[in-house]
């Protein structure tokens, strides 16, 4: 038993506590299955939600703490005072469960973390949650407000923007005597939505791009068809789908916040019946937050008929990692419905560089945390689509690998691409690790280098001035003088400056005959392969203009 404990980086006491079926630690047999507890210097902390306003209640679960120890909770934001949220006592297997409320002193826009620490003598056992995004209070799109007229606004466009009737806009603004003469900067009153009007609700109210939200509509005409649109609040909306209203004048569906949404933006879903009478509604605001760490720990509530293998496969974790993080599981073959589990962080990591660029960009792909000498299948694709297998990388003795991948030329600006590494382990679900996002940008303008010479004619032995421009900066180039398409002589090798420009001069050979033509050719030695030819220089007789 001591050899097993040393090999797994734990203690005999910890293994015995995790395996109560062992009655005699001196008598273990080949093939016996043992639960190896997580090392106590690596507590795991998971939170139930990732964003919300002040006052949000967060379920916090922790694992890997010393048994029956006091654990203190601290709430931390950068450059803000640290708050003590309370204390709990871990159970006999080092598990903790509590709730934390986001305090009124929390500041929106700054990542918020929960830290849980237990101390045994001079030893600290500390777990840190993934980031929680505190969102600022938002306006109610259906409440009364004031609007400042923008260029191009009309009473009708403002009514549509705020989901009010045109009559309601005029009634609240009797100063509008000529609807065609709104003035930029003019302040208008937007009345509250009429009582009993149709409504659309979104849940949750915040989250990262691509978050799936539930859209619920009420008060629409029964059996009507509603055109659903989404977009930034008070901006243009894009049609997404249609939804049929049931006999109770309601509908429910799911929609995804677009991947193009940016943190800090407010998005809404608007609905309008496709036939008269026209009925419109606009939802509450959805606050876009920073993308969630896809590998961070999370909380999962067991559903009826769930199995540990199915959960491991769904979250791309190993069964053993889930078991070691959840020592409260008595029987791995029978999970209890509504039981709370911590899905541990994926320890394997894939990093890419750069994180943005045009189509054709070459990515440096590095992986760590994998088993030594393991095969990792490297795939590339747009996020949450089918990924194309590129190659199989082999990790080194430290579980590291380094390779490359190219963003296809067909990728479009704004798309988000990821690299996925898949590791197959014997008798366990495959583990798939996703890199950070690569955001495709517009292709850089094509280089249009030119070579200018002067004069363009003259007798033999004429001085010839050369300027090359439009090349990549700090690139080595070679200048050559050619006669009638045959290389004659190398003028010089030089480097372009920060503006992609370089200059030189040469002499037309004294042996050049009247009527012969010469050109200067400049080609790159480093950087992208480029070769540019100057206009012709024509040799004239002595004394010719």
How many angstroms separate the CA atoms of 406 and 283, rounded? 41
User: What is the greatest pairwise CA distance in the chain?
Assistant: 113
**Two tokens, residue 149:** 């007229």
How many angstroms separate the CA atoms of 194 and 172, rounded? 12
How many angstroms separate the CA atoms of 154 and 258, rounded? 29
Instruction: Quickly list DSSP for 465-485.
Output: EEEEESSPTT-EEEEEEEETT
Instruction: Quickly list DSSP for 305-355.
Output: T--HHHHHHHTT--HHHHHHH-TT-S-TT-PPTT-EEEEPPP--EEEEE-S
How many angstroms separate the CA atoms of 11 and 509, rounded? 87
**Two tokens, residue 437:** 């996002």
Question: Phi and psi dihedrals of 117, rounded to 5?
Answer: -130, 135
Q: Is 165 exposed, middle or buried (0-12, 13-18, 19+ CB in 10 A)?
A: middle
β 356-357/438-440 pair status: parallel
- DSSP-derived secondary structure letter, 152: T
Residues of the chain with CATH 2.60.40.1930: 145-288, 349-440
CB proximity list for 6: less than 8 A, separation 6 or greater: none
- Record the pTM: 0.58
Q: How many CB atoms lie within 10 A of CB 87?
A: 12
How many angstroms separate the CA atoms of 55 and 510, rounded? 89
How many angstroms separate the CA atoms of 384 and 361, rounded? 20
User: Tokens 């640290």 correspond to what residue?
Assistant: 82
How many angstroms separate the CA atoms of 84 and 14, rounded? 30
> In this predicted model, what pLDDT tens digit does every residue of 352-405 receive, in sequence order?
989 888 888 899 999 876 777 888 999 999 987 889 999 999 988 767 899 999
**Two tokens, residue 389:** 């297998």
118, β-bridge pairs = 71, 125
How many angstroms separate the CA atoms of 62 and 65, rounded? 8
CATH placement of domain 349-440: 2.60.40.1930
Please name the helix (run of DSSP H) or strand (run of DSSP E) that holds residue 490, with its range, or none: strand 486-495
How many angstroms separate the CA atoms of 502 and 492, rounded? 11
- DSSP-derived secondary structure letter, 191: P
- DSSP-derived secondary structure letter, 66: P
CATH placement of domain 38-135+294-345: 2.60.40.230
| Topology annotation, domain 145-288 | Immunoglobulin-like (2.60.40)
User: Tokens 């049929």 correspond to what residue?
Assistant: 244
**Two tokens, residue 129:** 């949650």
| Per-residue pLDDT in tens (0 to 9) along the chain, 545 residues | 666 765 555 667 667 766 777 877 777 877 777 766 554 447 999 999 999 999 999 999 999 999 999 999 999 998 888 899 899 999 999 999 999 999 999 988 888 999 999 998 888 899 999 889 999 988 889 889 999 999 989 998 898 888 888 888 999 999 988 888 888 999 999 999 877 788 999 999 999 998 999 999 999 999 999 999 999 998 878 888 999 999 999 999 999 999 889 999 999 999 989 988 888 889 999 999 988 776 678 999 999 999 999 998 888 787 888 998 999 998 888 899 999 999 998 777 898 989 888 888 899 999 876 777 888 999 999 987 889 999 999 988 767 899 999 998 888 888 999 999 988 655 444 667 889 899 998 876 667 899 999 999 999 999 999 999 988 878 899 999 998 767 678 888 999 887 889 999 999 999 888 999 999 999 999 878 889 999 999 999 875 55
The architecture of the domain spanning 450-539 is Sandwich (2.60)
Q: What number of CA atoms fall less than 13 Å from residue 168's CA on the CB side?
A: 16
328 within 8 A of 91, measured Cβ to Cβ: yes
Residues of the chain with CATH 2.60.40.230: 38-135+294-345
Q: Where are the beta strands (DSSP E) in 143-236?
A: 145-148, 187-190, 199-203, 206-207, 212-218, 225-232
Q: How many CB atoms lie within 10 A of CB 205?
A: 17
454, β-bridge pairs = 465
Query: What's the pLDDT score for residue 40?
Result: 44
């Amino acid at each position: 038993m001591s050899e097993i404990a040393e090999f797994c980086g734990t203690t005999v006491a910890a293994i015995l506590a995790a395996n109560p079926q062992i009655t005699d630690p001196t008598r273990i047999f080949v093939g016996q299955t043992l639960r190896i507890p997580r090392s106590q210097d690596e507590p795991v902390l998971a939170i139930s939600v990732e964003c919300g306003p002040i006052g949000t209640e967060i379920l916090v679960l922790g694992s890997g703490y010393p048994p029956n120890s006091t654990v203190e909770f601290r709430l931390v934001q950068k450059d803000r005072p640290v708050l003590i949220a309370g204390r709990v006592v871990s159970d006999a297997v080092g598990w903790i469960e509590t709730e934390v409320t986001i305090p009124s002193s929390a500041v929106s826009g700054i990542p918020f973390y929960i830290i849980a620490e237990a101390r045994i003598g001079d030893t600290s056992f500390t777990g840190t949650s993934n980031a929680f995004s505190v969102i600022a209070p938002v306006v109610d799109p259906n409440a009364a407000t004031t609007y400042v007229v923008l260029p191009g606004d009309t009473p009708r466009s403002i009514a549509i923007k705020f989901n009010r009737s045109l009559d309601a806009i005029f009634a609240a603004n009797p100063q509008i005597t000529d609807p065609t003469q709104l003035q930029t900067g003019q302040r208008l009153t937007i009345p509250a939505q009429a009582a009993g009007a149709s409504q659309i609700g979104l849940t949750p109210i915040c989250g990262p791009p691509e978050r799936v939200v539930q859209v619920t509509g009420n008060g629409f005409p029964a059996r009507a068809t509603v055109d659903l649109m989404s977009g930034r609040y008070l901006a243009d909306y894009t049609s997404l789908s249609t939804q049929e209203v049931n006999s109770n004048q309601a509908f429910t569906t799911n929609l995804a916040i677009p991947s193009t949404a940016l943190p800090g933006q407010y998005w809404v879903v608007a609905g309008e019946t496709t036939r008269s009478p026209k009925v419109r509604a606009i939802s509450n605001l959805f606050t876009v937050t920073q993308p969630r760490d896809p590998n961070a720990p999370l909380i999962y509530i067991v559903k009826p008929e769930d199995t540990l293998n199915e959960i491991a496969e769904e979250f791309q974790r190993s069964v053993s990692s889930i078991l070691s993080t959840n020592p409260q599981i008595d029987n791995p073959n029978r999970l209890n419905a509504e039981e709370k589990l911590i899905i541990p962080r994926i320890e394997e990591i894939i990093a890419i560089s750069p994180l943005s660029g045009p189509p054709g960009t070459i990515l440096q792909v590095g992986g760590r945390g994998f088993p030594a000498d393991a095969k990792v299948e490297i795939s590339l694709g747009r996020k949450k689509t089918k990924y194309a297998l590129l190659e199989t990388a082999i990790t080194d003795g430290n579980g590291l690998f380094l390779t490359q991948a190219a963003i296809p030329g067909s990728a479009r600006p704004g798309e988000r691409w990821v690299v996925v590494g898949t590791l197959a382990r014997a008798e366990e679900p495959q583990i798939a690790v996703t890199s950070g996002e690569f955001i495709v940008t517009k292709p850089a303008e094509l280089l249009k280098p030119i070579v200018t010479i002067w004069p363009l004619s003259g007798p033999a032995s004429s001085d010839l001035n050369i300027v090359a421009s439009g090349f990549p900066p700090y690139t080595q180039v070679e200048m050559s003088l050619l006669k009638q398409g045959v290389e004659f002589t190398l003028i010089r090798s030089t480097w372009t400056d920060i503006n992609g420009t370089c200059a030189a001069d040469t002499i037309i050979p004294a042996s050049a005959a009247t009527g012969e033509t010469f050109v200067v050719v400049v080609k790159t030695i480093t950087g992208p392969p480029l070769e540019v030819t100057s206009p012709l220089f024509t040799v004239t007789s002595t004394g010719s203009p």
